[in-house]
Structure 1
Amino acid sequence: MNTLPPHVRRARRPAHKELRLASIIEAARSLALHKGVREVTLTDIAAEAGLAKSAVLRYVETREEIFLRLTAEGWSQWATAVGQSLGDRTDGTVEELAELLCRTLVDQPLFCDLLAHVALNLERHVSMEAVLGYKLATLDALNDLTEICGRFLPELPQPAARELIGDLSLLAGALWQIATPPPALARLYAEEPKLAHMKVDLLPRLTTAARALATGLVTGGITA
């Protein structure tokens, strides 16, 4: 007879395994939203999910794989949000597109945080199979976003739309880190007037850059 409590028993059926994996991913999501991706360890995730660390490693390779899965999810959610907002419109402006892309990015703070970590460490501590899965999921979302943006703004060629989306994802990741400094650094910015400008307001800064980039791509950008 199995005397272990249900939440720590090993999942054996496929459906149970999927539920267990989902609980691990949700634990990582909750912790990362609260503490920031950088501060969350695999031990933290295991404790939040009510599992031993060794049990978590039956479902994922590493902590980084969990966060890579969440990043792929973020790409999909970004594409969905943009598509739902733009619908079938074909009469958009550069300003509208830039503002919408940025707003839907900033609406996903965990995604913005994760974007800065992908190339830096997430892709470097998983198997090539995990990287491939992530890349293919991201490519699907990127293709959807490219098509949606090109339909909304016909004067933006697909290669240019792809460039815009890729560049914005990089900017969002970098700017999010600056816009959300750790408490000690935030206090320093608040207490030292000469450093106040270093605290970035994410949405306005990202939107300004997006408008400039989108305008440049429309007027003289990538066509092939």
Structure 2
Amino acid sequence: MGPVPDRRATFQRARRPGEIEARQTAILNTARGMLLDRPVADISLRELATEVGLAKSNVLGYFESREAIFLELLNTEWQSWLDDLDTLLPKPLPGDGRPRTKESALATIVADSLVARPMLCELLSAMAAVLERNISLEFAREFKRKASANNDRLAAAVAARLPHLPQATPHEFAGAVIVLVAGMWPFANPTDTVATVSREMGFPPPKEKFAVGLRGGLAAHLIGMAVRDAATEGD
């Protein structure tokens, strides 16, 4: 039997813009595929390079770090979610005349749309704690600009459905969405040992607990802010 061919030998250094974009897309698609069965923290740059068929040093020719790869993927997933959310949120929102039913309906739709996107939740949970730790100042500026634009899009979608809210409140809610997902998602993905103990103690399945908690948490935030704003206006 002859030597096993090295897949990396088939990749030559991309020089034209189209070739560079194709390499970057291949790297991002590989990272996306690896995230289907493991968390970000368990994916090394070496493993990613092997999967895509490039040497580790070659991957760093297209992205400055492992973290930059996953932040770029995060932005892509974030924008895709916002595109879908704009079609999921009806205009006007359903309401039965009871106080704050529209806020509750919007929070539930936002929460359920996030539950349906575990990859986005995983990347958001790793954003501040892991992924923003090994990037250059230039990349950080560009990523935070994109993240801010994504938050602005969510705030604009909320404001369009709840026009009675003060201008700052939808932006406040958009920030709360990220904080709640980032804080709750790790608990939805416990180790096998912790999952076993949770079952023994009769706790609900972690993913189910995440979904219920996110719905309740987002509704509580949005309704609470709406009540606060109404009280402020009445002063």
Q: TM-score, normalized by length of structure 1?
A: 0.89
Aligned position for 2:167: 158
* Pairing of 1:142-181 with structure 2 (within 5 A): 142-181=151-190
Aligned position for 1:52: 55
Q: Please, which of 73, 82, 92 is the counterpart of residue 79 of structure 1?
A: 82
Aligned position for 2:46: 43
Read off the aligned partner of 1:158 and give its amino acid letter.
Answer: Q
RMSD after superposition: 2.1
Q: Map Cα deviations across residues 18-72 of structure 1 (whole Å, 9 max, x no partner).
A: 0001111111111122111110000111011011111101101110001111121
Q: Please, which of 56, 78, 97 is the counterpart of residue 106 of structure 2?
A: 97
Q: Please, which of 115, 125, 128 is the counterpart of residue 137 of structure 2?
A: 128
Segments of 4+ moved more than 6 angstroms: none
Describe the shift of the 1:184–1:165 C-alpha distance in structure 2 as closer, same or farther (beyond 3 A). same
Aligned position for 2:34: 31
Query: Secondary structure at 1:154's aligned position in 2?
Result: coil
**CA distance in 1 between partners of 2:55 and 2:148 (Å):** 34
Structure 1: runs of 5+ lacking an equivalent? none
Question: Is 1:216 matched with 2:219?
Answer: no
Q: Is the 8 A contact 1:61 1:126 kept in 2?
A: yes
- Aligned pairs, number: 217
Read off the aligned partner of 1:165 and give its amino acid letter.
Answer: A
**CA distance in 2 between partners of 1:5 and 1:28 (Å):** 17
Read off the aligned partner of 1:11 and give its amino acid letter.
Answer: A
Q: Of the two, which has the highest radius of gyration? A: 2
Q: Is the 8 A contact 1:79 1:142 kept in 2?
A: no
**CA distance in 2 between partners of 1:199 and 1:30 (Å):** 23
Q: CA deviation at 1:197?
A: 6.1
**CA distance in 2 between partners of 1:5 and 1:72 (Å):** 28
Q: Percent identity?
A: 30
Query: Secondary structure at 2:36's aligned position in 1?
Result: helix
Question: Is 1:22 matched with 2:25?
Answer: yes
Q: CA deviation at 1:188?
A: 2.5
